[in-house]
A = this chain, B = another copy of it.
């Protein structure tokens, strides 16, 4: 197989389909989504059987348990995948929305129209549910998609792709509006991320290794998601109960999510009274404390934290803890060590809260709320394709709107420039 030729063909087809999709009516797109959801439900046993083939190969290849878990598609998983696709049909269609249409002194009316980005390339790990999610979000936002999932999920992804294609055909939309790369050859990724003429943006949903490769090799712009080294800062005026609840929720509700807190900063003025209690609560939940010198003096079971600890996203029951002199040191520490994902302050002081919101350079900044809220559903986006830690285009959770941009529209009546 000539990978370059194969990917160029996918690219050309996607570009063609994107022009069609950009002008598709909302009802057509919704009809396709509903038909995809139905097909997924109807083909439940086929999908589970295809997934069994992937799982058997993955087990034989010695894939580790966590990855096998993500690869697994149960009958219940298929149902929830179909439900997700059907929900996207219910979301408002962002495409074509015109905003801020205003008259200018020259007599023209100037506004902005929301339009699809065009062709979106999505590169992700061996998680079959992402195939359906990503297809649904790209379709609803009027974008053509080229999906390249982890090679271990190839059979599952192909089976899902057949359901997606059926749904597109039911709605008379082009079948190449959503294309799943059919080869597991890694060269296909190299082509996908450099076909500037056919691909408008790459959304990588994978580990650090993938992102590092893309940063070196990609020629197509990316909406990237790096890690989530999220902080909570207990400011001097923090309410004791809010502090305990927020730290507990942000650290222990789920250990493996990117919006889980990984580092705790405590104002020196309240460290002696707050820190032992907060750490006792975490310890009781099985969380290991790695603290600065002052933390270790206040919390007997804390281990000394290294410089590296403060820069680490553990994704595990471990937290780094540091006592700071005040707001300035907290903000400086966060801006230095954070991955610019999500940070929260616990404080009753209005000025401190406002400064934290303004000066912390992360995609989500919070006052008296758990970092776990950083999520497309919680923010009201309805769904998310990922969480961007980039600064251009979209920061934080990316929903349908993040898969569009705005062009300018000018309405005149024969106006010319003087």
Contacts and interface: CB of A to CB of B under 8 A. Distances in A.
Interface in A226-251: 239, 241-242, 245-246, 248-250
Contact of A390 (B221, B357, B362, B379): B221
Given A392-B392, A405-B393, A415 B369 contact: yes
Contact of A407 (B19, B108, B110, B395): B395
Nearest to A254: B417
Interface in A200-217: 200-201, 215-216
A62 interface: no
Of A22, A370, A395, most buried by chain B (CB within 10 Å of CB) is: A370
A358 B374 CA distance: 33
A104 interface: yes
A118 interface: yes
Taken together, the copies of this chain in the complex come to: 2
A395 B396 CA distance: 21
Given A362-B407, A407-B363, A407-B364, A412 B369 contact: yes
Contacts of A248: 416
Contact of A397 (B117, B246, B408, B409): B408
A359 interface: yes
A174 to B, nearest CB: 15
A368 B22 contact: no
A170 to B, nearest CB: 24
B391 A392 contact: no
A364 B408 CA distance: 5
A147 to B, nearest CB: 19
A416 B357 contact: no
Contacts of A416: 245-246, 248-250, 253, 369-370, 372
A172 interface: no
A81 B328 CA distance: 38
Contact of A410 (B364, B390, B391): B364
Contacts of A246: 414, 416
Nearest to A344: B410
A365 B407 contact: yes
Contacts of A357: 113, 409
A56 interface: no
B110 A380 contact: yes
Which of A246, A372, A391 neighbours the largest number of chain B CB atoms within 10 Å of its CB?
Answer: A391
A396 B391 contact: no
B396 A358 contact: no
A407 B216 CA distance: 26
Interface string A115-142: 1011000000000000000000000000
Contact of A201 (B366, B368, B391): B391
